[in-house]
Structure 1
Amino acid sequence: FVGQALSFSVHAEQSATINAWLHGETGLQALAIHEAPCGYCRQFLYEMATVNQNFVLLVKSNESQPEQTYTSNKLPRFLPEPFGPADLGLTGGLMQTVFHDLETYSTDDTDD
Protein backbone atom coordinates (compact mmCIF):
# COMPACT_ATOMS: atom_id res chain seq x y z
CA PHE A 1 0.00 0.00 0.00
CA VAL A 2 2.74 2.42 -0.92
CA GLY A 3 1.62 6.01 -0.50
CA GLN A 4 -1.75 5.05 0.98
CA ALA A 5 -3.06 5.93 4.43
CA LEU A 6 -3.60 2.76 6.43
CA SER A 7 -6.17 4.59 8.53
CA PHE A 8 -8.58 4.07 5.63
CA SER A 9 -8.39 0.31 6.03
CA VAL A 10 -9.79 -2.04 8.67
CA HIS A 11 -6.99 -3.53 10.74
CA ALA A 12 -7.04 -7.16 11.93
CA GLU A 13 -7.64 -6.19 15.57
CA GLN A 14 -10.63 -4.07 14.57
CA SER A 15 -12.01 -6.75 12.27
CA ALA A 16 -11.78 -9.45 14.94
CA THR A 17 -13.39 -7.22 17.57
CA ILE A 18 -16.28 -6.07 15.37
CA ASN A 19 -16.86 -9.61 14.08
CA ALA A 20 -17.13 -10.90 17.66
CA TRP A 21 -19.52 -8.08 18.57
CA LEU A 22 -21.73 -8.68 15.52
CA HIS A 23 -21.96 -12.35 16.53
CA GLY A 24 -23.26 -11.54 19.99
CA GLU A 25 -20.14 -11.23 22.11
CA THR A 26 -20.36 -8.57 24.78
CA GLY A 27 -16.66 -8.30 25.53
CA LEU A 28 -13.18 -9.65 24.95
CA GLN A 29 -10.71 -11.01 27.48
CA ALA A 30 -7.80 -11.55 25.11
CA LEU A 31 -6.76 -11.17 21.50
CA ALA A 32 -3.99 -13.09 19.71
CA ILE A 33 -2.07 -11.04 17.16
CA HIS A 34 1.03 -11.50 15.01
CA GLU A 35 2.73 -8.18 15.79
CA ALA A 36 2.34 -5.48 18.42
CA PRO A 37 -0.72 -3.38 17.51
CA CYS A 38 -0.35 0.01 15.88
CA GLY A 39 -1.29 3.12 17.84
CA TYR A 40 -4.69 3.34 16.17
CA CYS A 41 -5.56 -0.23 17.22
CA ARG A 42 -4.23 0.30 20.74
CA GLN A 43 -6.61 3.22 21.16
CA PHE A 44 -9.47 1.32 19.50
CA LEU A 45 -9.05 -1.61 21.91
CA TYR A 46 -8.76 0.72 24.90
CA GLU A 47 -12.11 2.33 24.09
CA MET A 48 -14.04 -0.94 24.31
CA ALA A 49 -16.55 -0.81 27.16
CA THR A 50 -15.29 -4.12 28.53
CA VAL A 51 -11.58 -3.49 28.39
CA ASN A 52 -9.82 -3.20 31.71
CA GLN A 53 -6.38 -3.63 33.17
CA ASN A 54 -6.67 -7.42 32.71
CA PHE A 55 -7.29 -7.41 28.94
CA VAL A 56 -4.49 -9.48 27.39
CA LEU A 57 -2.80 -9.25 24.01
CA LEU A 58 -1.05 -12.44 22.95
CA VAL A 59 1.75 -11.36 20.63
CA LYS A 60 3.76 -13.82 18.51
CA SER A 61 7.15 -13.83 20.16
CA ASN A 62 9.65 -15.27 17.70
CA GLU A 63 9.44 -15.59 13.92
CA SER A 64 12.27 -18.12 13.75
CA GLN A 65 10.53 -20.70 15.95
CA PRO A 66 8.46 -23.22 14.01
CA GLU A 67 5.89 -23.64 16.77
CA GLN A 68 3.49 -20.87 17.62
CA THR A 69 4.80 -19.15 20.73
CA TYR A 70 3.15 -16.07 22.14
CA THR A 71 3.92 -13.71 24.98
CA SER A 72 1.08 -12.46 27.14
CA ASN A 73 0.98 -8.69 27.55
CA LYS A 74 -1.62 -6.53 29.22
CA LEU A 75 -2.95 -3.61 27.19
CA PRO A 76 -1.42 -0.90 29.45
CA ARG A 77 2.02 -2.13 28.36
CA PHE A 78 1.20 -0.94 24.84
CA LEU A 79 -0.72 2.17 25.92
CA PRO A 80 1.06 3.43 29.06
CA GLU A 81 -0.75 6.78 29.40
CA PRO A 82 -4.20 6.02 27.99
CA PHE A 83 -6.89 8.59 27.32
CA GLY A 84 -10.40 7.41 26.69
CA PRO A 85 -14.10 8.05 27.21
CA ALA A 86 -13.82 7.86 31.02
CA ASP A 87 -11.38 10.78 30.97
CA LEU A 88 -14.15 12.86 29.39
CA GLY A 89 -16.71 11.71 31.95
CA LEU A 90 -18.36 9.32 29.49
CA THR A 91 -19.42 5.78 30.27
CA GLY A 92 -19.79 2.87 27.91
CA GLY A 93 -18.07 2.32 24.63
CA LEU A 94 -17.80 -0.34 21.97
CA MET A 95 -19.46 -3.63 22.96
CA GLN A 96 -21.59 -1.97 25.62
CA THR A 97 -24.97 -3.62 26.02
CA VAL A 98 -27.58 -0.95 25.41
CA PHE A 99 -31.35 -1.31 25.43
CA HIS A 100 -32.76 1.48 23.29
CA ASP A 101 -36.43 0.75 24.13
CA LEU A 102 -37.44 1.06 20.48
CA GLU A 103 -40.60 -0.38 18.99
CA THR A 104 -41.77 -0.79 15.43
CA TYR A 105 -45.30 -0.72 14.20
CA SER A 106 -47.01 -0.90 10.87
CA THR A 107 -50.10 0.75 9.47
CA ASP A 108 -50.04 -1.61 6.52
CA ASP A 109 -53.28 -3.64 6.27
CA THR A 110 -51.34 -6.69 5.06
CA ASP A 111 -49.48 -6.93 8.36
CA ASP A 112 -51.41 -9.45 10.48
Structure 2
Amino acid sequence: MRLLFSATPAFGHILPLVPLMRAAVAAGHTVGLLSSAGFRATIGTELPPEVDYLEAGAMPDVFSTEAARRTGTDIYQPTPAMIGEIFGGARVDLGIEESLGRAARWRADSPVPGRQ
Protein backbone atom coordinates (compact mmCIF):
# COMPACT_ATOMS: atom_id res chain seq x y z
CA MET A 1 0.00 0.00 0.00
CA ARG A 2 1.11 3.58 -0.67
CA LEU A 3 0.69 5.78 2.40
CA LEU A 4 1.13 9.55 2.27
CA PHE A 5 1.63 11.55 5.45
CA SER A 6 1.30 15.33 5.46
CA ALA A 7 2.61 17.64 8.17
CA THR A 8 3.40 21.22 9.04
CA PRO A 9 7.15 21.78 8.58
CA ALA A 10 8.12 21.67 12.26
CA PHE A 11 9.75 19.05 14.48
CA GLY A 12 6.73 18.86 16.78
CA HIS A 13 4.49 17.99 13.86
CA ILE A 14 6.73 15.58 11.95
CA LEU A 15 8.66 13.71 14.66
CA PRO A 16 5.51 12.10 16.14
CA LEU A 17 4.81 10.65 12.69
CA VAL A 18 8.26 9.09 12.29
CA PRO A 19 7.49 5.89 14.29
CA LEU A 20 4.35 5.41 12.18
CA MET A 21 6.34 5.87 8.99
CA ARG A 22 9.03 3.45 10.21
CA ALA A 23 6.38 0.85 11.06
CA ALA A 24 4.74 1.27 7.67
CA VAL A 25 8.07 0.89 5.86
CA ALA A 26 8.91 -2.18 7.97
CA ALA A 27 5.54 -3.67 7.04
CA GLY A 28 6.41 -3.31 3.37
CA HIS A 29 4.43 -0.19 2.52
CA THR A 30 5.63 2.64 0.30
CA VAL A 31 5.62 5.82 2.37
CA GLY A 32 5.68 9.50 1.47
CA LEU A 33 5.80 12.69 3.52
CA LEU A 34 4.36 15.94 2.16
CA SER A 35 5.85 19.06 3.77
CA SER A 36 7.65 22.27 2.85
CA ALA A 37 10.75 22.08 0.69
CA GLY A 38 12.74 24.25 3.08
CA PHE A 39 12.34 21.72 5.90
CA ARG A 40 13.68 18.70 4.03
CA ALA A 41 17.33 19.16 5.01
CA THR A 42 16.35 19.81 8.63
CA ILE A 43 14.18 16.72 9.11
CA GLY A 44 15.70 14.39 6.52
CA THR A 45 18.08 12.60 8.89
CA GLU A 46 15.15 11.70 11.17
CA LEU A 47 13.19 9.97 8.42
CA PRO A 48 13.67 6.42 7.25
CA PRO A 49 15.65 6.61 3.99
CA GLU A 50 12.83 4.82 2.18
CA VAL A 51 10.40 7.71 2.77
CA ASP A 52 9.72 9.84 -0.31
CA TYR A 53 9.77 13.51 0.67
CA LEU A 54 7.28 15.51 -1.38
CA GLU A 55 8.16 19.19 -1.28
CA ALA A 56 5.24 21.61 -1.24
CA GLY A 57 4.04 24.68 0.57
CA ALA A 58 5.51 27.59 2.47
CA MET A 59 7.79 27.52 5.47
CA PRO A 60 6.51 28.59 8.93
CA ASP A 61 8.02 32.08 8.78
CA VAL A 62 6.14 32.77 5.56
CA PHE A 63 2.71 31.45 6.53
CA SER A 64 2.97 32.85 10.07
CA THR A 65 3.84 36.31 8.76
CA GLU A 66 0.89 36.10 6.37
CA ALA A 67 -1.39 35.03 9.23
CA ALA A 68 -0.21 38.01 11.30
CA ARG A 69 -0.91 40.33 8.39
CA ARG A 70 -4.38 38.88 7.89
CA THR A 71 -5.34 39.06 11.56
CA GLY A 72 -3.49 42.23 12.48
CA THR A 73 -1.89 40.54 15.48
CA ASP A 74 1.67 40.13 16.69
CA ILE A 75 3.28 36.92 15.48
CA TYR A 76 4.99 36.54 18.88
CA GLN A 77 1.76 36.96 20.86
CA PRO A 78 -0.61 34.75 18.89
CA THR A 79 -4.32 34.77 19.54
CA PRO A 80 -6.65 31.84 18.85
CA ALA A 81 -7.72 33.62 15.66
CA MET A 82 -4.13 33.87 14.52
CA ILE A 83 -3.42 30.21 15.30
CA GLY A 84 -6.49 29.30 13.26
CA GLU A 85 -5.25 31.48 10.43
CA ILE A 86 -1.77 29.94 10.60
CA PHE A 87 -2.98 26.35 10.32
CA GLY A 88 -6.34 26.69 8.59
CA GLY A 89 -5.92 29.78 6.46
CA ALA A 90 -2.55 31.11 5.40
CA ARG A 91 -0.70 27.80 5.39
CA VAL A 92 -3.43 26.15 3.33
CA ASP A 93 -3.83 29.09 0.95
CA LEU A 94 -0.08 29.33 0.32
CA GLY A 95 0.39 25.64 -0.41
CA ILE A 96 -2.83 23.93 -1.44
CA GLU A 97 -2.34 23.91 -5.21
CA GLU A 98 1.24 22.70 -5.03
CA SER A 99 0.41 20.14 -2.33
CA LEU A 100 -2.55 18.68 -4.20
CA GLY A 101 -0.48 18.45 -7.36
CA ARG A 102 2.40 16.65 -5.65
CA ALA A 103 0.04 14.29 -3.83
CA ALA A 104 -1.88 13.49 -7.00
CA ARG A 105 1.33 12.68 -8.90
CA TRP A 106 2.62 10.52 -6.02
CA ARG A 107 -0.68 8.60 -5.98
CA ALA A 108 -1.26 7.31 -2.46
CA ASP A 109 -3.72 4.45 -2.19
CA SER A 110 -7.28 5.47 -1.51
CA PRO A 111 -8.42 4.95 2.09
CA VAL A 112 -11.91 4.11 0.85
CA PRO A 113 -12.29 0.69 -0.81
CA GLY A 114 -13.35 0.99 -4.42
CA ARG A 115 -12.68 4.76 -4.59
CA GLN A 116 -10.46 5.90 -7.43
Using the size of structure 2 for normalisation, the TM-score is 0.31
Normalized per residue, the structure richer in helix is: 2
Using the size of structure 1 for normalisation, the TM-score is 0.32
